[in-house]
């Protein structure tokens, strides 16, 4: 069984999947914050792991700790010039964040032969464009919804810290808390809607921890996707097996 790991800026997510499983057909899954990373060893110990694929944007120290608690040596998922039907159009393909490359591969698997915008809304919001032919054109990166609000509170003298789960207002706000949230929400949705418009996208895929909060404010059709990075890792593992380069 293959363990797929998505080590992000805030959390580490994992799924266990059989080699022939349908897309998203997990046998087990979990997620922990960085502070709870050491609990993963106990979670993984009972699992029949024969291989592992690691997408890591959390830094070398997190990667080393993950490797130390795995029963097998993981393969690192990295951004390549081409994989699983996606051509990496970044000026330097290796500089593309591996999570964004995985998300593009997941988007291609979910919406083949369509021009797609994939918005992954986490600590940062990444908004990337994929052509109908599978060419990753590039994208946008902006602070995520929570990071925008906390940045305002941290860097201004009079603005309050807004609770993570505060209700999101619609339109113009008549108090400061709601005005902060309304502005942050408008920035997120406005960037996504602009990307869809300038790309002429046929599909908009929305993923990430903040996606359910942003989704109701979007003024365009979209598909809410859980764990699009993980879907991309599963698709990439399949492609590598088919080419004989991924033994797990």
List residues with catalytic annotation: 99
Q: Do residues 124 and 141 make contact, with C-beta atoms less than 8 angstroms apart?
A: yes
Q: How far apart are CA 98 and CA 169, in angstroms?
A: 34
* Residue whose C-alpha is closest to residue 42's, from 74, 76, 71: 71
Residue 22, Cα to own-chain centre: how many angstroms? Answer: 20
Query: What is the DSSP-derived secondary structure letter of residue 168?
Result: P
For residue 188, the surrounding DSSP H or E stretch is: helix 176-199
Query: What is the DSSP-derived secondary structure letter of residue 109?
Result: H
CA separation (Å) from 16 to 13, 47, 207, 231?
Answer: 11, 8, 20, 12
49 contact partners, CB below 8 Å, separation of at least 6: 1, 2, 3, 16, 70, 71, 72
């Amino acid at each position: 069984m293959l363990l797929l790991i998505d080590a992000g800026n805030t959390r580490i997510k994992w799924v266990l999947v059989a080699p022939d499983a349908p897309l998203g057909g997990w046998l087990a899954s979990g997620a922990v914050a960085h502070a709870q990373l050491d609990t993963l060893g106990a979670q993984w110990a009972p699992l029949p792991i024969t291989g592992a694929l690691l997408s890591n944007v959390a830094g070398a120290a997190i990667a080393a700790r993950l490797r130390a608690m795995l029963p097998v040596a993981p393969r690192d998922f990295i951004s390549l010039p081409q994989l699983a039907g996606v051509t990496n159009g970044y000026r330097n393909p290796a500089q593309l964040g591996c999570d964004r490359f995985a998300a593009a591969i997941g988007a291609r698997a979910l919406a083949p032969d369509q021009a797609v915008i994939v918005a992954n809304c986490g600590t940062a919001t990444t908004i990337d464009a994929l052509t109908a032919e599978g060419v990753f054109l590039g994208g946008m990166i902006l602070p995520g919804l929570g990071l925008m609000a906390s940045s305002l509170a941290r860097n201004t003298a009079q603005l309050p810290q807004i609770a993570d789960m505060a209700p999101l207002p619609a339109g113009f706000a008549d108090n400061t808390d709601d005005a902060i949230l309304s502005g942050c929400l408008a920035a997120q949705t406005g960037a996504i809607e602009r990307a869809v418009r300038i790309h002429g996208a046929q599909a908009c895929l929305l993923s990430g921890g903040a996606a359910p909060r942003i989704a109701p404010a979007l003024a365009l059709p979209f598909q809410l996707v859980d764990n699009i990075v993980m879907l991309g890792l599963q698709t990439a593992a399949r492609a590598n097996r088919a080419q004989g380069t991924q033994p797990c």
